[in-house]
Structure 1
Amino acid sequence: MDFIKTTEADSKYNNLESMTVSDLLVNINNEDKTVPVAIEKALPFIEAVIAQTVLKLKDGGRIFYMGAGTSGRLGVLDASECPPTFGVPSSLVVGIIAGGDKAIRDAVEFAEDSTTQGWDDLLAHNISTKDVVIGIAASGTTPYVISALEACNAKGIITGCITCNHNSPLSQTAQFPIEIIVGSEFITGSSRMKAGTAQKLVLNMISTATMIQLGKIKGNKMIDMQLSNDKLVDRGVKMIMTELNISYHDAEILLQEFKSVRNVLKHANNGN
């Protein structure tokens, strides 16, 4: 099947500079509304990636997100939010961006074009067959990502991907591809818009569902969250109040003593 890069297709809108701010917002919002519908079509493929990821993490493995530009930044964002949300070490979900940490804020010229650096970056983390590597590229053509996944495949490492073009080189490389076909962007080729939104939503699904499967949530509460600010401490106290039917003051004392909501509940359930 021929590969058509719909993320580069001409926008359905023209003369954007002549639109009022109101018209711009309405049209952008109308395009954004199509993203969840596109994701819904790919849910079985997202589930397949999560199933593999859960198996690997239960066996002591890790998740690696790899991307360039916006895609890389979104992977780094999702990875960085897992420790405070789920209380996991920063080494469990790792975001790697072409060009290194500098590229999170500033574009690093031609970093995405390397066909060797991606694998080198994974080797720096002692990548192994216990791990899962998920390549992220709206276009599905980023050499940095594709070459890294090719190397992983050759070494027996599970690979997945998130892309917004059908039958792209990246989709053909990944063992478990996820394709979210969002079509042309409001500004032609600006894949930081719908494609970026789609990638962010899918990354949320992967990390959240995986962590729930690993037992990091009780009921609907983040019992392993890091208590890194007053808002989160207050949230933790209120979780304990609800679970144990005790006062705010008593819950606060318990949280101060046991340092996490999970530890408090474990202590209570043991009858101590």
Structure 2
Amino acid sequence: MNDKNIHSDPLNDFEKDLFGKGKINWEKSEADVWNELQGKMDKNPAKEVHIRNNWVQWAAAAVVLLILGFGAVISSWQKTIECRPGEHLVAALPDGSSVDLNAASKLVYNPLKWKWERKLKFVGEGFFNVEKGSTFTVESNNGTTQVLGTSFNIYAREENYRVTCLTGKVQVTSPGNEKVILLPQNHVELEAGKLVVTKLFESEKAISWKQNYFYFAGRPLKEVIDEIERQYAVTIKLDPELNNRNFGSNFSKQHSVEDVLDFVCKPMNLKFEKQANNIYIVTAES
């Protein structure tokens, strides 16, 4: 007899003894087990919703940050137009308004906000021709000018602030919040912190610089010398003791800088000397 034919695996015999006697007696019924598994499965969607809610919150926060960032860019964006010494230029603004800039003048504005806020910062001298529309505001260190549609000239250099209205109506506000309304041929000047208005002013003289002609009626000599520096792009050293001497006359830029200096100095018993290229000194006659 072949022993291999009657070979029996002890493990198989154990399985027959265990499983051949019928079903296993479970501690829980099949229905109970299924219900318990189903309950665990039902809990999973809550975790998914929680994750989805977090994602929505993160996305909303990202959108808010993007909007705030874009708003910051719009608010901080600035365009600068600068006229160098010895030059004149015309600045065109987004609404069709224009500014004739005198030498050594500058304006700064936000082109992205211009459609709903016509406002700019200005230093120097300029003739403004403003298109009708929303309030147009020009801010300078020593005052603010507001209009709707008009033309006017602003002189805003150092402590000086002067506004001349040519057409329309202009409101000027001082640093102390004093306000005046200017009509055509009205002129206002800031003196000792107060706005002093002159009516029936020869407004054409205020913009004569556009034709390279310069009027001075009892202005400090330093102001005259500073204007000559700007128009000719030179350096003129003025004896400080002469700063507040008054000068009253006019000159045209068609003459050379030395001809103009001679014209200014002679009637005031002053002299000028050329120290180097484009550098002059003005002193009193000895």
TM-score norm. by structure 2 comes to: 0.28
| Higher gyration radius (CA) | 2
Judging by fraction of residues, say which structure has more helix: 1
Judging by fraction of residues, say which structure has more strand: 2
TM-score norm. by structure 1 comes to: 0.29
